[in-house]
Amino acid sequence: MEKMPAWADAVLVPIISLLLAAILSALVIVAIGEDPVAAVKLMVQGSLGSTYGWGYTLYYATNFMFTGLAVAVAFHARMFNIGGEGQAMLGGLGVAVVCLYMPWPHWSLALIFATLSAAAFGAAWAFLPAYLQAKRGSHIVITTIMFNFIAAALLNYLLVNVMRPKGSMDPATAKFPETTHLPTLHDILEPFGIAFSKAAPANVSLIVAIIACVAVYFLIWRTRLGYEIRAFGHSESGAKYAGISPVKITVVAMLISGGLAGMMAINNVMGEGERLIMNSTEGAGFIGIAVALMGRSHPFGVFLAAILFGFLYQGGAELALWTSIPRELIVVIQALVILFTGALDNMVRMPLEKLFLMFRKGDA
Amino acid sequence: MSVMHKILGGAAALALSAGTLVAEPAMIFDLGGKFDKSFNESAFAGAQRWAEETGGTFREIELQSEAQREQALRRFAEAGSNPIVMTGFAFGNVLAEVAPDYPDTKFAIIDMVVDQPNVRSVVFNEHEGSYLVGMMAAMASKSNTVGFIGGMDIPLIRKFACGYAQGVMAANADATVVANMTGTTPAAWNDPVKGSELTKAQISQGADVVYAAAGGTGVGVLQTAADEGILSIGVDSNQNYLHPGKVLTSMMKRVDNAVYQAMTDGPDMETGFNVMGIANGGIGYAMDENNASLVSADMQKMVDDAAAKISSGELMVHDYMSDDSCPALSF
């Protein structure tokens, strides 16, 4: 029997966690002598109050959707993929190779191949940790996090020594050619008569991210492979008994996870930067973990959580622009939300479960 | 008709002056943060000086992520900040795209050239200042070997190294220059431990004066040089005070002056290419009570002569970035 109804699990727990985080953040803001109400207003206004704000919120959200889905898929096979960051970096490399070294007649073709290439690079980066876990029992948490550092070092080497245009000081590739530039939401919505801010970086990859959410839903709950992944996640011995190969599922689930993380690059590298820079992922791989936890590894939950984190990022940027709240404190506020929704999930869940059980006893 | 013109003109003038009243400048610090003891902090000092002298206020932001570069520029421009000053070459690409969208806003970028009608690009002749401190290093050296420790291996830092090596050779043609770079990534700007190791390595090769052009890494270089009893040369701001009597001089790059000037000029700032060199006080070497005992009258005279020749154009110091090569040093 479920301890509490599904709606409480999906809605009540995150909302209470968020409230707790908000209260603590407000206390922090009060402690440095700023007005928390004004700060919240500024965050909401700046991230949701204009198409410009939405453009940035959705841009960040797109990143988090990809990395959140990546972590979620691995969760279903009971694996903790902390390597989203490295896989996304490699995805960026995949995008850069496709955009720089091949001529493209139109962005749509470039997008399809860049997506495939990004996914392939990301999946390739997840392959070795997955193989080591499946065959040698090396713990995936350790190996994936180590692969993040290797990815950073590899990218560093390539950007400084191979891909940097001559005479440029920035460790970054050249600008991608015009035909690979993705249309922004402004370009997409204009034909429909909707005036969307031209400056915001949200682009067509948002639609790819939403498609990915739907695809992951079908994969996990409507296909044989998804069933095998879930069965494996619930009980490895049970899955084995049912004739499911643990090696195959571990590797395949991690390849899908790495591929999704890699696909993030079409948003930040191809859509926003239009060139590959060092540290283009900016921690989105790690945010993905919090997003997947908060979204309860369900694609729709991931979608909502990603938008929430997009709001936090864009709201944080607005705070940095218009108040004297130092940027370190904005990181603290973002971290509090991650802490409460991700790491301290059980702190809210357990008392709630007890509460619901009490009521149920009362009914009986 | 003429009356109408006058009225319209008057209204326009009023609108313009009203615009100047509300426009406040904005300052964008790069990812290093405004208290980096070096480049950004110097820019902050310039902005601060402007605020104190004029009683004005300025908006500021320390960037948190790459995506915020464009965001900060656009938001400040849309909010009417004018001029908008930013530090660091990394803004180059972004500014080149953003500037045309806000033709009425003036931008000032330091350490990078952006060719747009509303952008002032401030670059420094670091090779000239490095030449001067190179001469001093060669004259102060007893072992005829001097060291150079750069931060991130980029053309800009090679420009420092190349000017330095030319200065060394000019003062003592037999001298040897040992040059090392701390790394190839931005982390090399803030790695004092590596800076210290490199200093020790250079001492073991015989160097007895080291020049650090490495941002926060230089703190480790200066510290180790002082501990090991050799001389060091600071960079960007006057770092003589860090180890009195142990720092020969500092190559001064007046980022603060450039920021102060841009903010003082306000929305009417002249745009274009702005080279700060020895001739206009943008570059120099630091003399104060902390290094007075280290610099002999002879030394100072020779350096001042060279500075005068560089100002007048009589002496040309080769700029590494002009052709990616250096006559005095191979990398």
DSSP-assigned beta bridge partners for residue B273: B121
Please name which of A227, A288, A231, A225 lies closest in space to residue A252, comparing C-alpha atoms: A225
> What's the rounded mean pLDDT across residues A78-103?
95
Q: Contacts of residue A275 in chain B, CB cutoff 8 Å?
A: 93
Q: Which of A55-64, A152-161, B13-22 has the lowest mean pLDDT?
A: B13-22
Could you give the CA distance from residue B306 to residue B315 in angstroms, rounded to a whole number? 8
A residues 155-184 lying closer than 8 A (beta carbon) to B: 156, 160-161, 166-167, 169-171, 175
Q: Are B26 and B85 in contact (CB under 8 A)?
A: yes
Could you give the angle at which helices A299-322 and A205-222 cross, rounded to 10 degrees? 150
Angle A128-A282-A266 (CA atoms, 0-180°, nearest 5)? 70
Domain residue ranges in chain A: 66-299
Could you give the CA distance from residue B267 to residue B248 in angstroms, rounded to a whole number? 40
A364 pLDDT band (50/70/90 cuts)? Answer: low
pLDDT digits (tens, 9 = 90+) for B222-280: 999 999 999 999 998 888 999 999 999 999 999 999 999 999 999 989 899 899 999 88
pLDDT digits (tens, 9 = 90+) for A294-312: 888 999 999 999 999 999 8
B127-252+281-323 belongs to which homologous superfamily? Response regulator (3.40.50.2300)
Angle A109-A68-A260 (CA atoms, 0-180°, nearest 5)? 35
Q: Which pair of tokens denotes residue A43?
A: 């965050």
ipTM of the complex: 0.72
Q: Contacts of residue B64 in chain A, CB cutoff 8 Å?
A: 316-317, 320, 327, 330-331
Q: Are A229 and A74 in contact (CB under 8 A)?
A: no
Would an 8 Å CB–CB cutoff place B300 in contact with chain A? no
Mean pLDDT of chain A: 90
B24-125+257-276 belongs to which homologous superfamily? Response regulator (3.40.50.2300)
pLDDT digits (tens, 9 = 90+) for A111-135: 999 999 999 999 999 999 999 999 9
In this structure, the strands spanning B247-253 and B283-285 are antiparallel
The structure tokens 């142990």 sit at B246
A residues 288-317 lying closer than 8 A (beta carbon) to B: 316-317
Quick one: how far is CA A330 from the chain centroid?
20
Q: What is the pLDDT of residue A363?
A: 63
> How many residue pairs from chains A and B have C-beta atoms closer than 8 A?
62
pLDDT score of B20 more than 50:
no
Phi, psi of B105 (to 5 degrees): -100, 140
> What's the rounded mean pLDDT across residues A56-66?
96
Quick one: how far is CA B84 from the chain centroid?
18
DSSP-assigned beta bridge partners for residue B309: none
Domain residue ranges in chain B: 24-125+257-276, 127-252+281-323
pLDDT score of A244 more than 50:
yes
Closest residue on chain A to B153 (Cα): A169
> What's the rounded mean pLDDT across residues A145-162?
90
Q: What percent of chain A has pLDDT over 90?
A: 61
Please name which of A201, A171, A184, A164 lies closest in space to residue A60, comparing C-alpha atoms: A201
Q: What is the pLDDT of residue B9?
A: 45
Phi, psi of B231 (to 5 degrees): -95, 155
pLDDT score of B66 more than 80:
no
> What's the rounded mean pLDDT across residues A98-109?
93
Q: What is the pLDDT of residue A2?
A: 64
Closest residue on chain A to B323 (Cα): A167
Closest residue on chain B to A173 (Cα): B93
A44 pLDDT band (50/70/90 cuts)? Answer: very high
Q: Which of A91-100, A118-127, A277-286, A303-312 has the lowest mean pLDDT?
A: A277-286
Closest residue on chain A to B72 (Cα): A321
Q: Contacts of residue A199 in chain B, CB cutoff 8 Å?
A: 70, 74, 101
Could you give the CA distance from residue A259 to residue A88 in angstroms, rounded to a whole number? 9
Q: Contacts of residue B74 in chain A, CB cutoff 8 Å?
A: 199
* A317 → closest Cβ in B68, B184, B185: B68
Q: Which of A204-218, A322-336, A350-364, B8-22 has the lowest mean pLDDT?
A: B8-22
